């Protein structure tokens, strides 16, 4: 079936998820929405994130999407259920694919989670991991400075190492062997985090796992596009698009040429 | 006249301005609004900030305010004129009081401005300073990590010094003798900034200057409250108030006990 897949995030971070979908499902069309007027979501409440996520899903519905991917950890943690209850199409979040990958990667049953304050305080990863495998030891810590460092392009600077050491010290002491990068911006800091944690620790990027879960769900429900075409990509944002385009093209490694600004508060 | 003064900001930062108003005008009532659902403003576009500022001013109008203080540098830079055009009461921003204080403080006519990306790229401080005193040399630089550092409470940590060195290096080389702390969060980093710039550089905090300008305007227009009472303070936010209360009480050095969450998108 040729209908687009809706993908949304608080801003540009979810493009790391869109990129994996483009790789794994190259003939699917994508409608991406980045909530740049209200970014970030990580320090806002559950009720606010639910409201924003429902507004965005109503907007994506007007684009006749056949599935929605919530490409934001905080929104997946707070709003996945509410969106599922209100829309009768497959809704995929990033938490459960990331949790499954972490459980399958760990050898010593000690898993670390890093993310925004919202994602960490929601306990969503812990609940999901425990429901897959009881008895797993889970340690989680919010890293609020990681997003602005990634957006500043400071990932290789010495201060970023100091900040990562500050945030990850306990994680190292506790001896986790698997660390979930539970925020879509964090893959940009992969090198710093890997260097600080040491090369024996496996970093999990939920983006790829999410794209694979989407593939499964579309196959299962017979919703895949069987036409032999290249997927088309449309981008929508709630605030001005120049920074989105500049940083987004770096995230996607691809040109962003079809982008529109909309008033999300109307939905 | 006993009517409240409306004060607004993207979040908690503007409380540093509210605090100065409470000191200078102790018998005035204040209605404070913090846009915690859409914070921060510093990386958003002029059009979006104008729209948010007009929504908030319409909300404050329902509280029958006799004047509005835009206690946010980015909103003052982008929306002061639009709010003035739409509301027939005194509207005070933080830029022009801060600019005047900087001009009066400088001895070598070299003034530095630090603030958010929005405030700096607007050029609002430069225009204002140049209009007061032509020929002043102005250097400005955005410091996007200062807000999250202040909110993390990391102001005394070594990383904060490294980040400040990174941002302020050019400022020091250029030899400014006066530095405008052009973001309401920055006074929390006063010590770091003063240490990095050296004690010969005068730091300007526009909050106090803004409160003094408000006093002038209320006196001039015969709007001051002449009753011998203690002012009452009401706080409104657009997202959950627990963090606002926790951090806000630290900013204000006073209890926040009268706070309500509202849906700002309805205004």
Tell me what pLDDT residue B167 has.
Answer: 95
Third-level CATH fold of B96-206: Rossmann fold (3.40.50)
pLDDT at B107: 97
Residues in chain A: 267
**What is the mean pLDDT of the segment spanning A152-171?**
91
Segment B111-155, tens digit of pLDDT = 999 999 999 999 999 999 999 999 999 999 999 999 889 888 888
- The Cα of A164 is separated from the nearest Cα of chain B by a number of Å equal to 11
Give the pLDDT of residue A170.
Answer: 92
Taking a contact as any Cβ pair under 8 Å apart, which residues of chain B between 9 and 38 contact chain A? Answer: 36-38
pLDDT of residue A46 exceeding 90: yes
Q: Which of B47, B141, B239 to mutate to test the interface with A (most CBs of A within 10 A)?
A: B239
Q: Which residue in A44, A141, A162 has the most chain B C-beta atoms within 10 A of its own C-beta, making it the best mutation to test that interface?
A: A44
Q: What is the ipTM of this complex?
A: 0.84
- Point out the residues of chain B with pLDDT beneath 70: none
Question: Do residues B28 and B92 lie in contact, with contact meaning Cβ atoms separated by under 8 Å?
Answer: no
Contacts B39 to A, Cβ<8 Å = 43
At A71-130, the pLDDT tens digits run 999 999 999 999 999 999 999 999 999 999 999 999 999 999 999 999 999 999 999 999
Is some CB atom of chain A closer than 8 A to the CB atom of B151?
A: yes
Taking contacts as CB-CB distances below 8 angstroms, the residues of chain A near B151 are 144
A162 contacts chain B (CB < 8 A): yes
- How many pairs of residues across A and B have Cβ atoms under 8 Å apart? 56
Active site residue A143: no
**Is B72 marked active-site?**
yes
Q: For residue range A211-231, what is the model confidence (pLDDT) as tens digits?
A: 999 999 999 999 999 999 999
Q: Are A111 and A129 in contact (CB under 8 A)?
A: yes
A144 vs B: CB within 8 A: yes
Residue B225 CB: number of other CB atoms within 10 A?
Answer: 19
User: Is B185 marked as a binding-site residue?
Assistant: yes
Q: What does chain B look like in DSSP terms, one character per residue? A: ---PEEEEESSSTTHHHHHHHHHHSTT--EEEEE-TTT---TTS-HHHHHHHHHHHHHHHHHTT-SEEEE--HHHHHHHHHHHHHH-SS-EEESHHHHHHHHHHH-SSSEEEEEE-HHHHHHTHHHHHHHHHSTT-EEEEEE-TTHHHHHHHT-TTSHHHHHHHHHHHHHHHHHT-SEEEEESTTGGGGHHHHHHHH-TTSEEE-HHHHHHHHHHHHHHHTT-S--S-----EEEEESS-SHHHHHHHHHHHTS----EEE--GGG-
pLDDT for the residue B214: 98
Quick check: A45 contacting B, CB < 8 Å? yes
In the block, residue with structure tokens 């991406």: A32
Q: Across the interface, do A240 and B47 touch by the CB < 8 Å criterion?
A: yes
Q: Which of A65, A183, A211, A252 is catalytic?
A: A183
Contacts of A151 in chain B (CB under 8 A): 144
Give the pLDDT score at A150.
86
Q: Is the pLDDT of residue A180 over 90?
A: yes
**Residues B30, B72, B203, B218: which is the catalytic one?**
B72
What pLDDT sits at residue B240? 83
Cβ atoms of A23 and A85 closer than 8 Å: no
Give the integer Cα–Cα distance in Å for B226 and B150.
37
Q: Which fold has domain A5-93+208-266?
A: Rossmann fold (3.40.50)
Stretch 109-138 of chain A: residues touching chain B, C-beta under 8 Å: none
* Residue A27 DSSP SS3: coil
Nearest residue to B241 (alpha-carbon basis) of B29, B35, B4? B35
Is B9 one of the annotated binding-site residues?
yes
- Residue A9 is labelled as binding a ligand: yes
Q: What's the pLDDT band for A148 if we cut at 50, 70, 90?
A: confident
When CB atoms are compared, the residue of A48, A239, A240 closest to B239 is A48
Chain A residues with CB under 8 Å of B148 CB are 144-145, 148
The domain ranges of chain A are 5-93+208-266, 96-206
Strands B202-204 and B110-115: unpaired
């Amino acid at each position: 079936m040729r209908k687009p897949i809706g993908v949304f995030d608080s801003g540009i971070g979810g493009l790391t998820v869109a990129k994996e979908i483009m790789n794994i499902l190259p003939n699917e069309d994508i409608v991406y929405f980045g909530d740049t007027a209200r970014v970030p979501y990580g320090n806002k409440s559950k009720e606010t994130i639910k409201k924003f996520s429902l507004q965005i899903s109503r907007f994506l519905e007007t684009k006749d999407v056949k599935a929605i991917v919530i490409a934001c950890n905080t929104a997946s943690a707070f709003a996945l259920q509410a969106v599922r209850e209100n829309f009768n199409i497959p809704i995929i979040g990033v938490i459960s694919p990331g949790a499954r990958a972490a459980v399958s990667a760990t050898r010593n049953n000690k898993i670390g989670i890093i993310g925004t304050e919202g994602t960490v305080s929601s306990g969503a990863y812990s609940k999901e991991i425990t429901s897959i495998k009881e008895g797993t030891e889970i340690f989680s810590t919010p890293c609020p400075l990681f997003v602005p460092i990634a957006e500043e392009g400071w990932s290789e600077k010495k201060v970023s190492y100091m900040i990562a050491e500050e945030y990850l010290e306990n994680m190292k002491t506790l001896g986790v062997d698997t660390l979930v990068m539970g925020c879509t911006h964090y893959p940009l800091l992969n090198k710093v985090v890997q260097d600080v944690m040491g090369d024996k620790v496996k970093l999990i990027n939920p983006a790829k796992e999410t794209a694979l879960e989407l593939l499964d769900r579309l196959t299962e429900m017979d919703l895949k596009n069987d036409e032999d075409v290249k997927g088309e990509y449309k981008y929508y944002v709630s605030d001005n698009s120049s920074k989105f385009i500049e940083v987004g093209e770096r995230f996607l490694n691809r040109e962003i040429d079809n982008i529109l600004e909309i008033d999300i508060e109307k939905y």
